[in-house]
Chains A and B, each alone.
Chain A
Amino acid sequence: MSDRHSTESIREELTHRDNLSLTARIAENPEPFVWWAVPMFVLLAVEFATWGGILVGMLDALVIGVTGLIDIVVGFVSPGLAQIVTDFQAGVVGMLRSVGGTLGELPTLFSREVIPNQGHQTPNGAWQGTFLGLQPAVAWALRFSLIMAYALFTAYWAFRGWLVYRDHYRESDWTPTDDIVNNLRGHRWGQFGIIVLVVFLTMATFGSALAPSTVSQNIQSPYSDESQIQYLTEEGTVETVFAGDANFDSKSKGAVDTNVGVMTYDDYGRFHPFGTLPNGRDLFTFMMGGARITMIVSGMAITGAAVVAMTLSMLSAYYSGSLDLGILTVADGVVSVPQLLLLIMMSAVFANTWLGAVLDGGFLLALIFAFTTWPFLWRAVRGPALQVAQEDWVRAAESYGQRPRNIMQKHMLPYVLGYLLVYASMSVGGIIISLSALSFLGNGLGISPPTPAWGRAISAGQSYVSSPSWHISLIPGLMIVLLVTGMNALGDGIRDAIDPEVETGDGEEAAAGGGA
C-alpha cells in the first residue's frame, strides 16, 4: 500500500463520516419533526402569496441586475452575444412577473381584503366597508397587530425548528453554535436587536398589508381606476373620488388648517397613523414602502461586502505575502477616498444609465455600498483570519494533502464567520444611514422617486420641523435611529455571544456610516 493511497483513505474517512442522511434520521424518529413541521406549514400556507411574492420579487431584481452586468461586459466584446443576454433576461423576467402576478391574486389570511380598513361613513354615522363596521383606525390597528404577532411568532417557530433539529436529529451532541445561542438567550440587549430586525423585515415583507393604504393607490398611481375611494360629504351624500384628489386636500404644509397630523383622519375618512406628507400622501404607507427598499438594498449591499471580505480575508491569510499587501493597498485606496464622497461621485455618474433603473436605483446603490464597505469588513476580519492560518490544524490539513480551497472553507472560515457577522451587523447601520442620506440629498442620487425612500420624507419635511406638521421629518428619522440602534445591538449581542471577553475597538468608524 503506497503512502498516497493511505492519505486518500484517511481523507475519505475524514470527509464521509456521516453514514445516515438527515432524511433517514427523520424517518427513524418522525414525531418531533411532524410536531414542528405541520404548524410551520400552516404558518407559511396562510401567507403563501406574500412569501412567494417577496421571493419572486427578489429573484426578478437579481436576474435583471446580474444579466445587466453580464450584458455590459459582453457588450464590449460582441454586441450579438449581448443581444442574446438581453433576450434571455426578457424571457426570464417575463416568466417571473407572470408567476408574481398569479401569486398576487391568491388570497392571504391577513390581507387588506380580509380585514379592510378603507371604508366610508354612512349619513347615520356607521362605517361601511370596514372590517365588522369598525372605525378605520381600529380596523387598521387590528390588522397591524395581527400581522406583527404573526411575523414574530413565525420567526420564533423557525427558531424552534433549529431547536428540534439540535435536540433530535443532529449527529453531534455539541457544536460551538449551541454556546452562541445559549449566550444570546441571556442577552436582553442582543434580543432587542433581533426583535427590531424581525419587525423591520416584517415591514419590508408585509408593507402593503401593514399600511392603511397601498403604495400604488396612494403614491405611485393615485389617479388610476383602482385608486378610487368613497367618502361621506358634508352634505350627507356618499361620493367617489380619486385618491390623488383626496391627497390634494389632505396636505400637511405646516399651518393648523392644512395639516393632517399623527393618528388623525383626513376629510375623506382616511386614517393616517403617521399623518400625511406635504403632498398629501400617507406617511405610514410611504414609510412601509421605504422599509422595503431600505432592507433590500442594505441586505444586498452587506451580503455582497461580506462575501468579498470573506473571500479576500481567506486568500490574504492563507497565502499572505505580496497578495496580502496587494489587497491591503487596494483596500486602503478605496478607504482613502471618504466614503460619502465616493458614494456621491459614483451615484451621480451612474444615475442616468439603465443600471440606475434596476430596483429604482437600488441595485446600483447596493453595488456601490458593497464596494465601499468591503475594505472595512476585510480589515476587521483580517486579524482573526491571520491567526487561524497559523494554527496547527491548518498545517495538519496541509500535510494530509487537502486542497487550499478545502482548507480555507472547512478549517479557517468557520472561525472567522462569527467576527464577520459582528462587523457586518455593525456596518449595516452605516449603510442604512448613508442610503437615506443620498435620498435626502436628492438631485438624482439615492432611490429614484416616486418609489418611497426614507431620506426623501425627511427632506420633504425640512421646512416644517417647528410647525404642526413636525411629524414629516421626525418620524422617518426616529425609524432610522431605531433600526440602526437595533442593528448595533444585534452586533453587540453576537459579539458577546461568540466571545464574552473580546471587545471590538476597530471598525467603529465603519459603523458610523462615513459621517452621514
Chain B
Amino acid sequence: MKATGAVSFWQATLAVLWKDLAAEWRSRELLSAMLVFALLVIFIFNFALELQTQLRASLSAGVLWVTLTFAGTLGLNRSLAVEKDRGCLDGLLLAPVDRAAIYAGKALANWVFMLIVAAIMLPLFGLFYNASLILPGVVLVVLLGSEGYVAVGTLLASMAVQARTRDILLPILLFPVVIPVVVAAVKATGGYLQTLPLEEIRPWLNLLGVYDVIFTSVAFMVFDSILEE
C-alpha cells in the first residue's frame, strides 16, 4: 500500500509558506536586507529633500511607496534565488502538487515579508516625516498595494531567476507592470494623509482592487508555463 495520499492545494500552499517562514526565521537574510535598505532610503530622502513640514506630509506617500517597492524587489529576487541556487526549485517542481500552489506559497511568504517591513517602516516614517501614517485607510492601501506588487513580482521573479542577469532583469520587467499599482497606492495613501473625502480616494482603491484580482488570477494561470523550459 502506498504511504502517500493526495495533497490539497491549500496543504501544499501552507507547506511552502511554512518552509519560507522557517528558513527566513533562521537566516533573517531577506528581511534584514529589506529593512536596512528601507531605512537607508527613508534616511536619505529625509536629509536630501530637507522639506518644509507641509511639503513633507504631501510627499510622504510617494517616498513611502518608492521605499516599499525598492525594498520589495530585493526580497523578491532573494526569495526565488534561494530556490534556484541549490536546485530547490526542481525539488518543488518534482512534488506531485498543483504548481499554482507553489506560486501561492511563495507569493504569500513574500507578502508576509513585505508587510513586516511595512509594519516597521510606517512608525519610523512618521517619526522622520512628521506625519502619522498609522491610519486604517493607509493600512488598507498598504495591504492592497503590496498584494498586487507581490502577485506580479513573484511571477516575474520566477521568470527572471532562470536568467544569468536576474538581479537587473527583475526590476526591468517588474516596474513597468506595477506602475498602475504604485500610482494608485501613492494617490490613495496621499488622499488619506491629506484627509480627503472617501469619494476622491475610492477610484484609486477600486483600481488597486481590480489590479490585485486581475494580476493574481493571471499569475495563477501562467505560473506553470513560465517554469517550463
Indicate, yes or no, whether A interacts with B: no
Q: Which residues of B contact A (CB under 8 A)?
A: none
